[in-house]
Structure 1
């Protein structure tokens, strides 16, 4: 039996406050006033180095599970974790999934972004739009949705069974190295409803840069741990097909 709980994290919002400040700054005559009122224009310390590829993708122990090292040499360099100039124009702390290029950006307040390679939904299962990270979970239990069970009856053994009158479920596949949700999951909600799409880890590192999943956004486990630690609860998420192609 598992009880789904939303972890308490500090929510960092720019949102409407930042846009209101920007509007006020447009009437100011002194540059330093603008700098104070728009956090996106302030000077920020540089992002600490991410480390070498070998360090980022080394084997590690996490919550008692041993994550194998990723053979990053076999991964297209574009899809390795890196810091890049922010191409999204979104507020800080926004997660942007770039479907066209199989990238995920976590927007920083200094006009930079941390970029990760992702695997996406195959044709017919892709989803786009705006949502929020409603809650986050370490080594989540996986419950296949009903439509997936209909396509793959062998997954019925993992069906979620809600305990009457409680926000608790029995069943599902326990968290672990072979779990399809990997080491972390972030659950996307839209207008207060679960979209059934997740940002999550995956043991299948070779799916990164491809469209093979049933709609969710999957990352290398080492990358999803890094992303999870950066993303606040209620962070805005944009999944878009409108980003220009990257050569």
Structure 2
């Protein structure tokens, strides 16, 4: 009996081992994508870059996946991946410029940037979250120090005020990025918004490729979206892709 278990164990190891040996790192996938892109194999390049990004390579892989889709004139998937890159690295001038250029080409103009877009867009959602955590604990430490040593000087008051202000602003930053986390983008040239989440439901508004919408509700394979011009309707996950 022990020999039988040993044989089964050995068989399982031999079956699983090739999977580990063939597993590719994000860096290797990125390099494969770069090679495919240089050979004008944009379909393979996009697949490699997206897998590299999903495994942790980040904004650069999403950006290059978007470039690959743009080369194939798949503007919806290109916009989706540019926005994914901007979510992770909002200060990339190349990504921002490509989004603007693609918006004009696809006829889906960007929303005019407000003060909030400029200010909160300087840091990523992750950076705002880290600032919120840091400022919160700095405030706790300052408050505890004042209680323990019974010191309430101007320096301590100013420091506590600044840490509190930083915490409030950073929380506002994470709230700002919540809309980005809940964004979906049309990847279909014939995309529409429907009256209800059903295949045969009547269309109520066009939702062209590359158009953005804020996700309000999920139901099965459908998303209820609100467009920048305040139109609300349902779209199939076959035609739209969530940003996150």
Could you tell me the TM-score, scaled by structure 1's length? Answer: 0.26
| Structure whose residues are more often strand by fraction | 1
| Structure whose residues are more often helix by fraction | 2
Relative contact order, CA 8 A, sep 6+: which one is greater?
Answer: 1
In our comparison, the structure showing a higher alpha carbon Rg is 2
